Amino acid sequence: APAKQAPAPPPPPEPPAEQKTEQGVSEASDEKEEEKTKVLCCKVKPQSKIGRLLQYRFPSSIDPFTNLIYVLWLFCVSLAFNWNVWMIPVRWAFPYQTPDNIHVWLLIDYLCDAIYILDILAFQPRLQFVLHGDIVVNIGKGKILEYLDVVSLLPLELLYFKTGINPLLRLPRILKFMSFFEFNKRLEAILTNAYVYRVIRTTTYLLYAVHCNACLYYWGSSFEGLGFSEWTYDGTGNSYFRCYYFAVKTLLTIGGLPEPTTLFEIVFQLINYFIGVFVFSIMIGQMRDVVGAATAAQTKYRACVDNTVKYMASYRIPKDVQNRVKTWYSCTWQSQGMLDEQELLDQLPDKMRLDIAVDVSYNIISKVPLFQGCDRQMIFDMLKRLRSVVYLPGDYVCKKDEVGREMYIIKAGEVQVVGGPDGKTVFVTLKAGAVFGEVSLLAVGGGNRRTANVVARGFANLLILTKKDLNEIMVHYPESQKLLRKKLLFKLCVTCCLPGRKMVMKDKKPAEKKEEEKEPIPIIPPRAETPKLLKAALEMTEKTGMKGTWSKLKDRSNRSSVSLQVHTLNLTQQNVFKFNVIIH
C-alpha cells in the first residue's frame, strides 16, 4: 500500500497590521537603496573621501570671525609670509644660494607666490564686512582689496633676466604683513590660554631682530673682507651661528666684543648698540605686559587674600576662623577662577549676559519643580540676577528664626536641614537642583523667618537670589507670582501634615507651646457686666419715677451693642471668605 503523506503544517499566523506596514516600509526602503547602488546591473561603491573633496564647493561668503577654514588658510598665508621674511635676508647676506640648489629656492618662492595670488583672488573678495551697519555677503560687492596686498605681488622677478637672481627683488613680498597680524588675532580668539601664544610671538620678534642683525654683520664682514680685523668674522666654523652669537652679544649689550678699528666698523657698532638698546627695551616691555595681562586675575586674587589676612591679624581673629577664610578663598578661586562673577558679567550687554547665564544655569533652574509652569521670560530675568557663592563644610547657610532675605538653589554639592535638642539631628539632605529659603522670602504663611537650620555637608556651590531682586521681577509677572504662592501654600500644607514635621516642631521652646495652647479668641466677644454705678442709678430712677427716661437710654445702648456685634461678625466672615479663596 502506498505510504500516507504527512499532513502539511498549518500556515503561520498573519502579523498584525502595524507589523505589516513596518515590513512594507522597510522593504520599500531596501528596494530604493538597491536601486541607488545598482547602475546598469553594476554595484556602485560608496563615495570616497577623495570624491567628496572633489565635489566640495567653495563658499560664496566667508565669516572671518567664526570660519575655521579661513583661520587654517591664514595659517598657510602666514607660513608663506614667514618664509619670505626670514629667508630673504639670509639669501642676500650669506652664500647659501648656489647654482646647485637654486631650483629649490625658486620652487618654494613660486609656491609662496601662488598662495598670495589664491588669497587675493579666492578668499579676500569673499570675506564678509560691515557697511553702514549691514553685513555684506554678496561676492559681487566684496570689499576693495588692500593696496599692500596688490603691491606685494609686483613681478620684480622679471628683472632676473637682466640682474640675475637677486633675493632683494622679492622684498615686496614682505608687505603681506596684514594677513600675518590678522592670523594672530583670530588664533588668540580661539585659544583658551592666549597669553602662551603671545609670549612665544614676542620671543620670536626678538629672535628675528637678532636674525637680521646677524645677516647685517656677515654682510659688513664680507664688505671689508673676512678676517680683515679682529672685529670682522674670520670665516671659520658655521657662518650663521657665529654671526648670530655676535648679534646676541651686541643687541643685548653683554660686552666682551673686540673693539672696532675702522670708521665703517665704529659706525656699524654704534648703530648696533642704539638699535639693540631700543629693541631690547621694547621687547622687555612687551613681555612684561603680556605676562602681567595673563596673571592679572591671579594678582588681584592674591592682593585680596593678603589684605584679608592683614585685616584679620590686626584684629586678632582666631586661627580657626582665619583658616576657614583662607580655605574659602582657595576653593572659590579653584571652582570659578575668580572671586566675583557678577563683576565680570556686568561689563557685558544685557543680551550677552543672558546668553551666558542661560548656558551656565538654565539646565539647573528648568528642573526645579517650583519654577515649572512659570513664565519663561521670568526665569530668564531670574538667571541674570543669580549670584554664585561657595560654602565650606559645616558652614551655616541660614539659621532658624533669622529674617529671610535670600533664596537658595543648589548648583553643586549637598546641604542638610538640621535641628533637634542638640541641633545636630539631620532631618533631610538636599542635593543639586533643590530649592530652599523660598517660603520666608515670599512671606508665605504669615512670616518671613527661617523655619530651620541649613548646613553645608561638604563644599557646596549655591545660586542666591535676593528678596529685592525677586520683588522687582514679580512685579512684571503677576500670573507667575500667583502660581508660586499657590505652590508654596500647597507645600506648607503638605509639610505640616507629614510626620517629620513634628520632629521640627520639637525645637520650639515651652513658652511657644503655651502660647499655642491658649484659647482661641471668640468671633463675638461676650457682653461686659453692667457696672455697679449704673445699677444703682437704675434703682434710684425706679424709686424717683424717672424709669421711662432711663429705659429709653437702656434700649439705645442695647441696640448699639447689637449693631457692633453684627458688624464684627460681617468683617470676620469676609476675612474667612478671602482666606478660602486664596487656598483654592
What CATH code is carried by the domain that includes residue 363?
2.60.120.10
Whole-Å CA distances, 49 to 41, 43, 54, 55, 387: 25, 19, 9, 10, 49
Domain boundary among 450, 483, 507: 507
Same structural domain, 255 and 113 = yes
Within-domain flag for 231: yes
Within-domain flag for 348: yes
Give the domain range for residue 456: 340-507
Q: What is the bridge-based pairing of β-strands 38-39 and 460-466? A: unpaired
Within-domain flag for 541: no
Q: Which pLDDT tens digits describe the chain residue by residue (584 residues)?
A: 444 444 545 555 555 544 444 455 455 455 544 544 444 444 445 556 666 666 667 777 888 888 888 999 999 999 999 999 999 999 999 999 998 999 999 999 999 999 999 999 888 888 877 777 777 776 555 455 578 888 999 999 899 888 888 999 999 999 999 999 999 999 988 888 888 898 899 899 999 999 999 999 999 999 888 888 888 998 888 999 999 999 998 888 777 788 888 999 999 989 988 888 888 888 888 888 888 887 888 888 889 999 999 999 998 889 888 898 998 888 888 877 777 777 777 778 888 888 888 887 888 787 777 788 888 888 888 888 888 888 888 888 888 888 888 888 888 889 999 888 887 888 889 988 888 887 776 665 555 678 788 999 888 888 888 888 888 888 888 888 888 888 877 776 766 555 444 444 444 444 444 444 445 555 455 556 666 666 776 676 666 655 555 555 556 555 555 454 544 445 444 544 443 434 34
Q: CA-to-CA distance for 282 and 275, rounded, in angstroms?
A: 11
Same structural domain, 270 and 366 = no
Same structural domain, 270 and 358 = no
pTM over 0.85: no
Cell 580657626 belongs to residue: 320
CA contacts within 13 A on the Cβ side of 493: 8
Within-domain flag for 319: no
Supply the DSSP string of 175-216, one letter for each residue.
GGHHHHHHHHHHHHHH-SSHHHHHHHHHHHHHHHHHHHHHHH
Asked if residue 341 lies in contact with residue 385, where contact means CB atoms within 8 angstroms, the answer is no
For the chain, the domain total comes to 2
Domain boundary among 488, 507, 526: 507
- Check the CA dihedral 394-400-403-405 and report its sign: positive
Q: CA-to-CA distance for 185 and 361, rounded, in angstroms?
A: 30
Strands (E), 506-558: none
Within-domain flag for 261: yes
Same structural domain, 355 and 432 = yes
Domain boundary among 474, 507, 540: 507
Same structural domain, 208 and 102 = yes
Same structural domain, 129 and 270 = yes
Total residue length of the chain: 584
Same structural domain, 234 and 112 = yes
Q: CA-to-CA distance for 50 and 333, rounded, in angstroms?
A: 49
Within-domain flag for 301: no
Within-domain flag for 531: no
Same structural domain, 110 and 219 = yes
With b for 16 or more beta-carbon neighbours within 10 A and e for fewer, the 454-491 pattern comes to bbbbebbbbbbbebebbeebbeebeebbebbeebbbeb
Within-domain flag for 141: yes
